[in-house]
Amino acid sequence: MTSIGTGYDLSASTYSPDGRIFQVEYATKAVENSGTAIGLRVKDGIVLAVERLIHSKLLVPGANRRIQAVDRHIGMATAGLLADGRNVANRAREESSQIRTLWREPPTAVADRLALYAQAYTLYSSVRPFGISTIFGGVDKTGPSLFVVEPSGVCGYHGAAVGKGRQLAKTELEKLKLSELSMREAVIEAARIIYLVHDDNKEKEFELEMSWVGNETGGLHAPVPTDLLAEAEQKAREALETFE
Amino acid sequence: MDHFPTNWGRPRNDMFDAYGTHPIHQRPDNRPKDTFADSVQHTQQPIVTGTSVLAIKYKDGIMMAADNLASYGSLARFKDVQRLHSVGKYTVIGAGGDMSDFQYIQHILEEVQIAEGTHQDGHELGPVEIHEYLSQVMYARRSKMDPLWNSLLIGGFKDGKRFLSYVDLLGTTYSASTLATGFGAYIAQPLLRKAVEGYEDVLTTEQAQNILESCMRVLFYRDARSLDKYQIATITAEGVSITGSLKLQTSWDFAEGIRGYGAQTQ
Amino acid sequence: MFRNTYDSDNTVFSPQGRLHQVEYALEAVKQGSAAVGLRSKTHAILLALKRSTGELASYQQKMFRIDDHVGIAIAGLTSDARVLSNFMRQQAMSERMVFNRPMPVNRLVATIADKAQVNTQEYGRRPYGVGFLVVGQDQSGPHLFEFSPSGNSYEYFAMSIGARSQSAKTYLEKHYKSFEDCTLEELIKHGLHALRETLQQDKELNVNNTSVGIIGPTGRHEKPVSPPSKFRIIEGEPVAVYLQSMDQKEPADGAPVPPTAADEDVQMSG
């Protein structure tokens, strides 16, 4: 890597001569080492799914969640440094609460505020950028919305993928007609994609974690019910066999 | 620098005022004033008010009643106000006193509920927790000499236990098997005690409803800030339910026989 | 003077996206003597190995009570542990005052994890140099969590931290499935066996260097406690009965245990 040893890559407040901020690029490297997270925006809701890598068999299954709730109707999934994800989630809750107190209605555009927050950490040498990419999903009066907040900025999507397997996941997401899917169908597809991008040979075991917001949940962010999750995992495994 | 010479005043002249009896001219202070420079005013009285709330323990849990009136002084200003409010799956709060303060309380409770929910760990706030929280808020505000002008009843049912307690603008709390706020504390409380105390574990839903209805009727007859439209909340193991507006059946025939008020002399 | 260009402070990512300062802080945890935690359906317990700096010194405290329903065992810098455990106590007390309930254990752990995260992101700070095992009981039963300086916290069936904790982990991984239905006495026995694995070759567990922390109903060898099930630390003579219950150590299969350096007493580490 050409950046190493030049001295232009030691601080987020330093540009390299060709106009890059290497610290931000390194931060995205932290994201690439983590399990994949995807988000699907479909007809009547949002589905979030993450591949939670199990680093020890002593872990309690189902605990240690990586999808977090921001507000009643907003969820977020992070890829990258888990602790940074919690920091951003706490900030998101504060922002959401502020907006709710001001407008006295379920907040919209929380992701925009979070993008400002994340961006502020790319400006100074006294802090490092967040080592995470975050997928925000929520349903509000404007309908379902899906955003990705990265150290470098924010974008709205129909389908999003971050983390190690994002390339393959994006390819799979592009094959879907997302705007025509129901939430239940999206759950099945999301499970299939996570199973697909998981590399059995290289990686540790994983748990599939999913949540959704939309018509199926009365507009509330909630974990996907266990029976549907089990069905989705079953179908994902079957699909994987035919895929190979 | 003050650029207005008229504000500079006249240099002191000892010949003219040797003993300094004339006050030295004070320059007017044109700097922006601190928002609180003229002292801070806190709430001194409620404005739009609700009257009594009644609540009792009965066999299956807690039952609570309040009418739909919000008064502006003695004017019956709003007749469609809900003074019973559910908080989560296990709790109902009923409020007398200032209705805008009550709306604020509803908002902070909503915030607390959301914060609780975002942990996604299965822990939930029950009536005990909500009552403790509210009593801390009420006491903190009265200690700032800026109270939330309400008296609140908190009733709930969680983990097989029913709960009923009171907190008011002073932060005072107490529990009993019958509680009443406002005028109801004088008029309805003795009736409720007579009907409920000792029977908390035998009163049926219907009986409890009848007790509350008859008390609401008495209150409507005697409390000039009350209304014949009211709601009843029940909190049981099955959860919370709040009825739509109910109408009290009343009869004013007796009024014809009353002498001593108004125009009639005999 | 630095081992690496990218390890001088918290605010620098390495080109691989790693935070070296945080990784070094995790090493500080390994300097401390070991602690083991495990849980059953009814109990969550902690066991820790105490060190003393010499004949004349007392043994360094390894366990702290946070609240009636929460206790911790530490490995790493004791002074950092005291800062964090004080903070946990404040949080637990505040929850009792504001909501009149014992603080849910996962949330208590999350508060210090969030505190630790800030120290991995800002210049002029250092990450905490201490790891915790936290046991607690709340409405959802007994729990065991690990907290680490990286700001992460995880819930486990059983876990160990500190010097040579890998050996204890190996033991726990072999047996954790049976913990669920263990009695308190069996659970402590498993814990002691795991803790024994972390000892240097010539050392043994004894009443002076072993602490046991328990949450859950009292066992056969205990007096009743109030409130029932509260966190209690068993040290000194009362530990003897549990030490006696231990089985003989299985003979090591040939390969000598590799000598682990850096286990000599480090100043500030417990």
- Name the phi and psi angles at C97, rounded to 5: -75, -45
Q: How confident is the model at residue C263 (pLDDT cuts 50, 70, 90)?
A: very low
Contacts of B36 (CB under 8 A, 6+ apart): none
- Give the Cα separation of C197 and C204 in Å (integer): 10
* Other beta carbons within 10 Å of B226: 28
C97 has a chain B CB within 8 A of its CB: yes
Mean pLDDT of C210-216: 97
A90 Cα to chain B: minimum distance (Å): 10
Q: What is the DSSP string of B162-185?
A: EEEEEEETT--EE--SEEE-TTHH
Decide if C113 and A83 are in contact by the 8 Å CB cutoff.
yes
Give the residues across from A77 on adjacent strands.
Answer: A67, A135
Residue C102 has pLDDT above 60, yes or no: yes
Q: How confident is the model at residue A151 (pLDDT cuts 50, 70, 90)?
A: confident
Mean pLDDT of C237-260: 75
* Other beta carbons within 10 Å of C148: 23
- Name the phi and psi angles at C28, rounded to 5: -60, -35
Residue A23 has pLDDT above 50, yes or no: yes
State both tokens at C226: 């109030």
State both tokens at B146: 């800026």
State both tokens at A3: 């950046």
Q: What pLDDT, on a 0 to 100 scale, did the predictor assign at position A82? A: 93
Residue C9 has pLDDT above 80, yes or no: no
Q: What pLDDT, on a 0 to 100 scale, did the predictor assign at position B34? A: 79
Residue B187 has pLDDT above 70, yes or no: yes
Question: Poorest-confidence range of A143-157, B45-59, B66-80, C58-72?
Answer: A143-157
Decide if B115 and A97 are in contact by the 8 Å CB cutoff.
yes
C56 has a chain B CB within 8 A of its CB: no
Element (H, E) at C259: none
Q: What pLDDT, on a 0 to 100 scale, did the predictor assign at position C266? A: 38
Contacts of A109 (CB under 8 A, 6+ apart): A99
Instruction: CATH number of the domain at B155, please.
Output: 3.60.20.10
Residues belonging to chain A: 244
Q: What is the DSSP string of chain A?
A: -TTTTSSTTS-TT---TTS--HHHHHHHHHHHTSPPEEEEEETTEEEEEEEEE-S-TTBPTT-S-SEEEEETTEEEEEEE-HHHHHHHHHHHHHHHHHHHHHHSS----HHHHHHHHHHHTTS-TTB---SEEEEEEEEETTEEEEEEEETTEEEE-SEEEESTTHHHHHHHHHHS-GGG--HHHHHHHHHHHHHHH--TTTS--EEEEEEEEEGGGTT--EEPPHHHHHHHHHHHHHHHHHH-
Q: What pLDDT, on a 0 to 100 scale, did the predictor assign at position C113? A: 97
Give how far the C-alpha of residue C79 lies from the chain's centroid of Cα atoms, to the nearest Å: 15
Element (H, E) at B140: helix B127-143
- Give the Cα separation of C176 and C194 in Å (integer): 11
Residue B244 has pLDDT above 60, yes or no: yes
* Domain span holding position B52: 48-247
B210 Cα to chain C: minimum distance (Å): 34
- Give the Cα separation of B198 and A163 in Å (integer): 64
CATH class of C20-50+57-245: alpha beta
Q: How confident is the model at residue C270 (pLDDT cuts 50, 70, 90)?
A: very low
CATH 3.60.20.10 fits A22-242, yes or no: yes
Q: What pLDDT, on a 0 to 100 scale, did the predictor assign at position C15? A: 87
Q: Which residues of C touch A81 (CB under 8 A)?
A: 19, 150-151
Contacts of A99 (CB under 8 A, 6+ apart): A107, A108, A109, A110, A113
More confident residue, C7 or C159: C159
Counting residues of chain A whose pLDDT is more than 90, the rounded percentage is 70
State both tokens at C117: 């995260």
B236 Cα to chain C: minimum distance (Å): 20
Nearest CA in chain B to C111: B119
Decide if C139 and B125 are in contact by the 8 Å CB cutoff.
no
Counting residues of chain C whose pLDDT is more than 70, the rounded percentage is 91
Q: Which residues of B touch C93 (CB under 8 A)?
A: none
Beta strands in chain C (DSSP E): 35-39, 44-49, 63-67, 70-76, 130-138, 141-147, 153-155, 158-161, 210-215, 232-234
Q: At what angle do helices C165-175 and C184-196 cross, to 10 degrees?
A: 140
Q: How confident is the model at residue A219 (pLDDT cuts 50, 70, 90)?
A: very high
A92 Cα to chain C: minimum distance (Å): 14
More confident residue, C198 or C201: C198
Question: Poorest-confidence range of A165-174, A199-208, B214-223, C250-259?
Answer: C250-259
- Give the Cα separation of B95 and B168 in Å (integer): 9
Mean pLDDT of C167-189: 96
Instruction: Indicate whether B238 belongs to any domain.
Output: yes
A3 has a chain C CB within 8 A of its CB: yes
Mean pLDDT of C94-116: 97
C106 has a chain B CB within 8 A of its CB: yes
Q: What pLDDT, on a 0 to 100 scale, did the predictor assign at position C250? A: 67
Mean pLDDT of B146-174: 97
* Cα radius of gyration (chain B): 27
| Preceding omega of C227 cis (within 30 degrees of 0) | yes
Most C-contacting residue of B112, B118, B132 (CB-CB within 10 A), to test interface: B132
Residue B120 has pLDDT above 60, yes or no: yes
CB nearest B136 (choices: C98, C101, C138): C98
Q: What pLDDT, on a 0 to 100 scale, did the predictor assign at position B60? A: 97
State both tokens at C108: 């208590």
B250 Cα to chain C: minimum distance (Å): 43
* Cα radius of gyration (chain C): 19
- Give the Cα separation of B125 and B86 in Å (integer): 12
- Give the Cα separation of B164 and B196 in Å (integer): 14
Q: What pLDDT, on a 0 to 100 scale, did the predictor assign at position A235? A: 95
Q: Which residues of A touch C5 (CB under 8 A)?
A: 4-5, 10
Most A-contacting residue of B106, B108, B118 (CB-CB within 10 A), to test interface: B118
Residue A2 has pLDDT above 60, yes or no: yes
Q: What pLDDT, on a 0 to 100 scale, did the predictor assign at position A63? A: 85
More confident residue, A200 or B109: B109
CB nearest C139 (choices: B119, B123, B133): B123
CB nearest C101 (choices: B122, B129, B136): B129
Catalytic (active-site) positions of B: 43
Residue C256 has pLDDT above 90, yes or no: no
Residue B116 has pLDDT above 80, yes or no: yes
Q: Which residues of B touch C106 (CB under 8 A)?
A: 119, 121
> CA torsion, points C92, C96, C98, C100, in degrees to nearest 10?
150
Q: Which residues of B touch A93 (CB under 8 A)?
A: 114-115, 118
Contacts of B199 (CB under 8 A, 6+ apart): none
A61 has a chain C CB within 8 A of its CB: no
Residue C142 has pLDDT above 70, yes or no: yes
User: Residue with structure tokens 């401390």?
Assistant: C32
pLDDT tens per residue across span B7-52: 666 655 666 556 656 555 566 677 787 777 777 778 789 999 999 9
Q: What pLDDT, on a 0 to 100 scale, did the predictor assign at position B27? A: 66
Residue A155 has pLDDT above 60, yes or no: yes
pLDDT tens per residue across span A122-137: 888 898 999 999 999 9
Q: How confident is the model at residue A222 (pLDDT cuts 50, 70, 90)?
A: very high
- Name the phi and psi angles at B255, rounded to 5: -60, -30
pLDDT tens per residue across span A82-103: 999 999 999 999 999 999 999 9
Q: At C52, which amino acid appears?
A: S
Q: In chain A, positions 140-199, which contact chain B (CB-CB < 8 Å)?
A: none
Catalytic (active-site) positions of A: 36
More confident residue, A153 or A241: A241
- Give the Cα separation of C12 and C25 in Å (integer): 15
- Give the Cα separation of B220 and C11 in Å (integer): 68
Q: So what's the ipTM on this one?
A: 0.90
Residue C244 has pLDDT above 90, yes or no: yes
Give the residues across from B61 on adjacent strands.
Answer: B58, B236
Residue C1 has pLDDT above 90, yes or no: no
Q: Which residues of C touch B132 (CB under 8 A)?
A: 98-101
State both tokens at B201: 């574990």
pLDDT tens per residue across span A35-66: 999 999 999 999 999 999 999 999 999 888 89
Nearest CA in chain A to B119: A69
Structural domain count, chain B: 1
CB nearest C98 (choices: B119, B128, B132): B132
Q: Which of A149, A132, A173, A171 is nearest to A47 (CA)?
A: A173
Contact C211, C58 (CB under 8 A): no
Contact A38, A49 (CB under 8 A): yes
State both tokens at A10: 């030691």
More confident residue, A3 or A78: A78
